[in-house]
Chain A
Amino acid sequence: MDYLLLQLLNGVQLGLLMFLLAAGLTLTFGIMDLVNLAHGSLYMMGAYFAWTLIGWTDSFVAGAVLALPATFLLGLVVEALVMRRLYARDHLDQVLATFGLILFFNELVRALWGPAGKSIAVPAFLTHTVEILPGVPYPAYRFAIIVVGALVAVLLAWLVARTRLGMLIRAGASNRRMIGALGVDIELLFTLVFGLGAAFAGLAGLMAAPLSSVKIGMGDDILIVAFVIIVIGGIGSIKGAFVAAMVVGQIDIVGRAFLPDVLKAFLSASAASAAAPAISQVLVYLVMAGVLVWRPTGLFGQRT
Chain B
Amino acid sequence: MTKALRTPRGLITAILLLLLAVLPLLTQALDQRYLLSIGTRIVIWSIAAISLNMILGYGGLVSFGHAAFFGTGGYAVGILAANGITSGWIQWPVAILAGALWATVIGALSLRTRGLYFIMITLAFAQLVYYVGAGLEAYGGDDGLNITRSRFGGMIDLRDKAAFYWLCFILLCATLWFCGRMANSRFGLVLRGAKANDLRMTALGFPVFRYRLAAFVIAGAFGSLSGILLANEGAYISPAMMSWVKSGDLIVIVVLGGMGTLFGPIYGTIAFFVLEETLKPLLDLGHRGWGEYWQIVFGPMLVLIALYARGGLDSLLGRRHG
Contact = CB atoms under 8 A, between A and B. Distances in A.
Interface stretch (B15-23, B74-82, B92-100, B111-119): B111-119
A133 interface: no
B205 interface: no
A100 B128 contact: no
Contacts of B307: 85-86, 89, 93, 97
Contact of B115 (A91, A274, A293): A91
B124 A29 contact: no
A92 B139 CA distance: 35
B138 interface: yes
B119 A35 contact: yes
A288 interface: yes
B312 to A, nearest CB: 11
A272 to B, nearest CB: 9
Nearest to B133: A278
B266 interface: no
Interface in B128-162: 128, 131-132, 134-135, 137-138, 141
Interface in B222-269: 244-245, 248, 251-252, 255
B127 to A, nearest CB: 6
Nearest to B135: A278
A144 interface: no
Interface string A84-103: 01100101111111011111
A288 B124 contact: yes
Interface stretch (B39-47, B186-194, B296-304): B296-304
Contacts of B306: 86, 89, 93-94, 96-97, 100
Contacts of A277: 135
A232 to B, nearest CB: 10
A271 B64 contact: no
Given A35-B119, A228-B124, A231-B120, A106 B248 contact: no
B251 A289 contact: no
Contact of A278 (B124, B134, B245, B300): B134
Q: Which of under 10, 10 to 19, 20 to 34, or 35 or more describes the interface residues of A?
A: 35 or more
A231 B128 contact: no
B62 A91 contact: yes
Nearest to B298: A103
Contacts of B134: 278
Contact of B117 (A97, A220, A296): A296
Interface string B280-321: 000000000000111110111111011100100000000000
Contacts of A92: 56, 62, 251, 255
B295 A107 contact: yes
B299 A103 contact: yes
Contact of A100 (B117, B132, B299): B299
Contacts of A102: 299
Contact of B127 (A91, A103, A285): A285
A108 B296 contact: yes
Contacts of B244: 220, 224
A106 B251 contact: no
B123 interface: yes
A86 to B, nearest CB: 8
Nearest to B300: A104
Interface string A20-32: 0000000001000
A27 to B, nearest CB: 14
Given A107-B299, A278-B135, A286 B128 contact: yes
Contacts of B302: 96-97, 99-100, 103
A292 B125 contact: no
Contact of B112 (A29, A281, A296): A296
A82 B62 CA distance: 21
Contacts of B62: 91-92, 95
B135 A279 contact: yes
Interface in A43-72: none
B300 A95 contact: no
B11 interface: no
Nearest to A234: B117
Contacts of A86: 306-307
Contacts of A235: 116-117
Given A85-B307, A220-B245, 6 more contacts: A93-B310, A95-B64, A110-B293, A271-B138, A285-B127, A289-B124
Interface of B: 56, 62, 64, 109, 112-117, 119-121, 123-125, 127-128, 131-132, 134-135, 137-138, 141, 244-245, 248, 251-252, 255, 292-296, 298-303, 305-307, 310
